[in-house]
Amino acid sequence: MLFLLACDGSLLHINVEGTYSSTVPEISTYQSVLTSINFTTDVNESEELKNQNVNKGDIISSIMTLFTLETVSGSDLSFIEEMNISVSSVSSDSEQIRLAYYDDFEAKNFAQFSLTSNDFTEQVISDQMNIVINITGNLPSTETTIEAN
């Protein structure tokens, strides 16, 4: 969900919704041995989004208002230790802006992320915005399907 302020100062609410599903493979015997000696896996996923003719002044504020992660089948979310979602501008020297994070996945099938309320308008109006997801953890003991909303 995304809230924007229009040029005239009135609240314009654009709800950006979607459900994204992914299947995480189960851990192999070799990986299980590495896990037993406290080896963790870091996953960094990134997606570039091109600007859709949005210009400076078209948007005053961009804030993430909700992000959830849920298991649909398989294990619970305890194989994840920490997950961070941030954005950056591909075309400028802007820093990465943290939008959401969660680090208490223990024995849970659903996680509502903590949000930073950081404004990422500069990234939205840039030529390209990069969405970055950083995950630290291990593979689950069984194949697990998760959904992000």
Q: Quick one: three-class SS letters along 58-124?
A: CECCCEECCCEEEEEECCCHHHEEEEEEEEEECCCCCCCEEEEEECCCCCCCEEECEECCCCCHHHH
Mean pLDDT by 10 residues, the chain (149 residues): 48 64 71 45 56 75 89 89 87 79 92 92 83 84 87
Q: According to the model, what pLDDT value does residue 36 have?
A: 44
Alpha carbons 2 and 149: distance in angstroms, whole number: 13
Q: According to the model, what pLDDT value does residue 113 have?
A: 93
In 3D space, the residue among 145, 143, 80 whose CA is nearest the CA of residue 113 turns out to be 80
Angle at 11 between CA 5 and CA 16, to 5 degrees: 75
Q: According to the model, what pLDDT value does residue 43 have?
A: 53
Contact status, residue 57 vs residue 8, Cβ threshold 8 Å: no
Q: Which residues contact 112 (CB under 8 A, 6 or more apart)?
A: 66, 67, 68, 102
Alpha carbons 38 and 86: distance in angstroms, whole number: 26
